[in-house]
């Protein structure tokens, strides 16, 4: 589709505005150090907590129903990751979301492995329907499966490109009145009235388990300070991930370097590296 010069100028100025918003959100996050409550999977609890700490947020992994009402009264956001769900976890997740709703807190849903089993798909839909202020962050195959289409996945890994999930993500924004982040080689941030793509990141990133889970947790941290589109988290992790990967011989050092880069990330680096396109 051809665009006019006026439209191009408009897009460029929106891109600059969005970049400013991301830099401002990172500053606000580090100043406010929001508490992010995570009900997440056994695989990634440690790297998720470390990613939140490295960016400047305050993580707590909590699973007990008995403390969830209290937690939601003072937490900044709730991250629900269904990665290792079972029949005992699901009612606790549901209760936590009900409490998040009572306190008007944002819920980030990471529907890990949605489409791989009926339990995962149905639980993801139940959670999405329940959360009042919702952001869905998932890979393309999970987004496609959540929307009810046939996805190609291998367990928790996507075999679809993020572009293939854009229509499904649009459907999800309408159905669940939420914002959606599709992660992958290109990240898409889709809201009711906007579509943004980020071309950062590195092909080594999916070689570490839980990179997407960290993205969902960071999405919760930014939502806690009011940036609830998922854009700032995807931008920060994309830029940090590519810098860390450039310094790493493989996934082992990437995991370690990522925490250092997240910790050191500054406005100048974001301004220099960010590859953002507003549709």
Ligand X SMILES: Nc1ncnc2c1ncn2[C@@H]1O[C@H](COP(=O)(O)OP(=O)(O)OP(=O)(O)O)[C@@H](O)[C@H]1O
Question: 185, 193, 220, 174: which is closest to 77 by C-alpha?
Answer: 220
Q: Residue positions in the annotated binding site?
A: 61, 137, 183, 210
Report in angstroms how near the CB of residue 167 gets to Mg ion at its nearest.
20
| Burial class of 163 by CB neighbour count within 10 A (0 to 12, 13 to 18, 19+) | middle
Q: What are phi and psi of 138, to 5 degrees?
A: -160, 170
Q: How far apart are CA 49 and CA 54, in angstroms?
A: 9
Q: How far apart are CA 108 and CA 34, in angstroms?
A: 15
* Position among 93, 131, 151, 237 found at the interface with ligand X (CB under 6 A): 237
The entry of ligand Cc1ncsc1CCO, ligand X, Mg ion, none near residue 63 (CB within 5 to 8 angstroms by kind) is: none
Is there binding between residue 107 and ligand Cc1ncsc1CCO (CB under 6 A)?
no
Report in angstroms how near the CB of residue 11 gets to ligand Cc1ncsc1CCO at its nearest.
34
Is there binding between residue 253 and ligand Cc1ncsc1CCO (CB under 6 A)?
no
Report in angstroms how near the CB of residue 102 gets to ligand X at its nearest.
29
Q: How far apart are CA 228 and CA 204, in angstroms?
A: 27
Is there binding between residue 140 and ligand Cc1ncsc1CCO (CB under 6 A)?
no
The entry of Mg ion, ligand X, ligand Cc1ncsc1CCO, none near residue 134 (CB within 5 to 8 angstroms by kind) is: none
The entry of ligand X, ligand Cc1ncsc1CCO, Mg ion, none near residue 80 (CB within 5 to 8 angstroms by kind) is: none
210 dihedral zone (left: phi>0; alpha: psi -120 to 50; beta)? left
* Position among 59, 115, 212, 230 found at the interface with Mg ion (CB under 5 A): 212
Q: Is 190 helix (H, G, I), strand (E, B) or coil?
A: strand
Return residues touching ligand Cc1ncsc1CCO (CB under 6 A): 41, 43-44, 83-84, 112, 156, 209-210, 213
């Amino acid at each position: 589709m051809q665009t006019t010069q006026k439209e191009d100028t408009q897009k460029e100025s929106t891109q600059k505005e969005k970049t400013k918003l991301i830099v401002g959100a990172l500053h606000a996050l580090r100043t406010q150090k929001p508490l992010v409550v995570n009900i997440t999977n056994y695989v990634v609890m440690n790297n998720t907590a470390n990613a939140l700490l490295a960016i400047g947020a305050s993580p707590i992994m909590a699973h007990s129903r008995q403390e969830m009402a209290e937690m939601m009264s003072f937490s900044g956001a709730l991250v629900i990751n269904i990665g290792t769900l079972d029949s005992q976890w699901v009612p606790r997740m549901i209760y936590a979301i009900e409490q998040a709703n009572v306190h008007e807190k944002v819920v980030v849903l990471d529907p890990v492995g949605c489409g791989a089993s009926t339990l995962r798909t149905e639980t993801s839909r139940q959670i999405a329907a329940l959360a009042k202020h919702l952001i869905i962050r998932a890979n393309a195959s999970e987004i496609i499966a959540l929307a009810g289409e046939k996805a190609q996945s291998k367990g928790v890994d996507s075999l679809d490109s993020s572009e293939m999930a854009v229509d499904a993500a649009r459907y999800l924004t309408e159905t669940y009145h939420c914002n959606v982040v599709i992660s992958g080689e290109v990240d898409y941030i889709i809201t009711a009235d906007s579509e943004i793509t980020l071309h950062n990141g590195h092909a080594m990133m999916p070689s570490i388990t839980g990179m997407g889970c960290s993205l969902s947790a960071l999405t919760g941290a930014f939502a806690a300070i009011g940036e609830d589109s998922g854009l700032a988290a995807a931008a920060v992790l994309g830029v940090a991930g590519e810098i860390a990967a450039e310094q790493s011989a493989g996934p082992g050092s990437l995991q370690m370097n990522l925490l250092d880069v997240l910790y050191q990330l500054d406005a100048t680096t974001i301004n220099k590296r960010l590859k953002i396109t507003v549709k």
